[in-house]
Amino acid sequence: MDANNKDLITQLIAQNQRLLQNLNTQRHCSCEVCQLVSEIIGREVPASTEIRVSFYSDYGRNIKLGERIFINANVMMVDLGGITIEDDVLIGPGAYLISVNHQLKPKQRKELELKPVVIERNAWIGAKAMILPGVTIGENAVVAAGAVASKNVPANTVVADIPARIIKKIKD
C-alpha cells in the first residue's frame, strides 16, 4: 500500500465506523438497513438480501453481496482482503468472515496479509462459525455452528469442528 492509498483507506474506515454506529444503534426499517449497508460497501445491496443488525465490518468496501442472501445478527466481516458472498447464502448469528491476517515474523507482525474469502452459491454458514483468510466455501456446503474453516470446503459437504473437517456429503 502506498501512502495515498493508506490515507484513503483510513478515511473510508472512519466513515464506515460512523455508518456502522448509526446502523447498529438507531431504529431502521429493512430498506434503511439495505441503504446504510450499501453506503458501507460502496455498492447497492440487492432488495432480496436481508441483513439483521447488529452488523459489523472493519473496512466495508471489499464486500460483494449476491441476491437472496440472509445475514443474521452480529456477523463480523473483516473484508480488507475481499469477501464475496454469492446468491442464496445463509449466514448464522455471530459468524466471522475474515480476509486479513498478520505476518508471523515478529519484525513484520504489523504488516497485513490479505486473502479473499468466497462463499459460493447456496452455502450455509452456521452460528458463530469462523471462515479464515483465503478460504472458499463451496456451492451448497454447510459450515456447522462453531466450526473454524481454515481450508477450502468442497461443494455439497458439511464441515464441523476446529479445525473444520468433512463430516458428511450432501446428496440431493
Residue 99 CA to residue 9 CA, distance in Å, equals 16
Nearby residues of 61 by Cβ (< 8 Å), 6 or more positions away: 12, 16, 41, 42, 79
Nearby residues of 114 by Cβ (< 8 Å), 6 or more positions away: 80, 81, 82, 99, 100, 133
pLDDT tens track for 87-112: 999 999 999 999 999 999 999 999 99
Q: Which domains does the chain have, with CATH numbers?
A: 3-169 (2.160.10.10)
**28: annotated active-site residue:** no
Q: Are 148 and 130 in contact (CB under 8 A)?
A: yes
**53: helix, strand or coil:** coil
pLDDT tens track for 8-64: 888 888 999 999 999 999 999 999 999 999 999 999 999 999 999 999 999 999 999
Q: Enter the DSSP assignment of 105.
A: S
- Listing DSSP states for 115-127 in one string gives --EEE-TT-EEPT
Of residues 18, 102, 165, 168, which has the active-site annotation? 102
* Residue owning grid cell 426499517: 29
